[in-house]
Amino acid sequence: MKRIIALLAATTLALQMGLQPVEAGMSDKDKAAAAAAAIAILGIAALAHNKHHYEEGYEPGGGEETAEFERGYRDGVHGYPYWEGNRTSGYAAGYQAGDRERENSMAHRQQASAAKAPPMAYQGCAQIVARNFAVGIHQVHFTKARSPGKHEWMIEAAVGRQYMTCKMRDSGELIDLRGGRL
C-alpha cells in the first residue's frame, strides 16, 4: 500500500512539474480536463489495489459503500470486534474479507512443524504467486503445506480471497502450478 501511495505521489509530482511550462498556454477547460484525467488515474489505481479483497461477484456500489467496506476490512484484518452500530452491507462484507485475510496471514503459525516446507520452496512459491496476481510478495500468505513425495512440497498460497497451489522442489524450483486450494 505504501509503495502504491509513493508511486502515485511521484507520478502526480512529475505530471505537475512537466506541465508547468505548458500550463501558461492552456485554457481553463484544458486544465480541468487534465485534472479530471489525473483523478481518474488515481481512482483506478486505488480500486485495482483492493480487487483481491472483494468476494466473487461483490463490488461496492459507490463511494460511501466503498468507505464502509474499507472500514470493515481494517477492523477485520486487525482483529477488532465487529462494530454492531454499523449495519451496512459494505461494512459486513469488508469485515468478512478482513477476517479471512487475518486467518490466512496467521495460518502458517498454526501448522505442525512436520508440515512446514523448506524456506526455498516457500520463497519460490511466493514469487510465482505474487507475479500471477500482480501484487507484492508480502501480500502472499501460506495456508497449508504437505509433502506428497521426497523433496517435493504442495504449498497452498492465498492473496485475499483467491488461492493458488504450488508444487515445489526443496530447492525452490517449480514443478506445477494450479489455481485453487490444496
Residue 141, C-beta contacts closer than 8 angstroms, at least 6 positions apart = 101, 104, 105, 107, 108, 157, 158, 159
Most confidently modeled of 52-61, 91-100, 112-121, 145-154?
Answer: 145-154
Contact indicator for 119, 134 with CB cutoff of 8 Å: no
pLDDT value of position 11: 62
Inform me whether the pLDDT recorded for 3 exceeds 80: no
Q: Mind listing the pLDDT tens digit for each residue in 11-54?
A: 665 556 555 554 555 666 666 666 555 555 545 444 444 555 56
Q: Mean pLDDT for the chain?
A: 75
pLDDT value of position 48: 44
pLDDT value of position 125: 93
pLDDT value of position 129: 92
Q: Mind listing the pLDDT tens digit for each residue in 108-117?
A: 555 544 468 8
Task: Provide the b/e sequence for 35-71 (b: ≥16 CB within 10 Å).
Answer: eeebeeeeeeeeeeebebbbeeeeebeeeebbebbbb
pLDDT value of position 126: 93
Inform me whether the pLDDT recorded for 73 exceeds 90: no
Which of 40-44, 62-66, 76-80 has the weakest average pLDDT? 40-44
pLDDT value of position 91: 86
Inform me whether the pLDDT recorded for 144 exceeds 80: yes
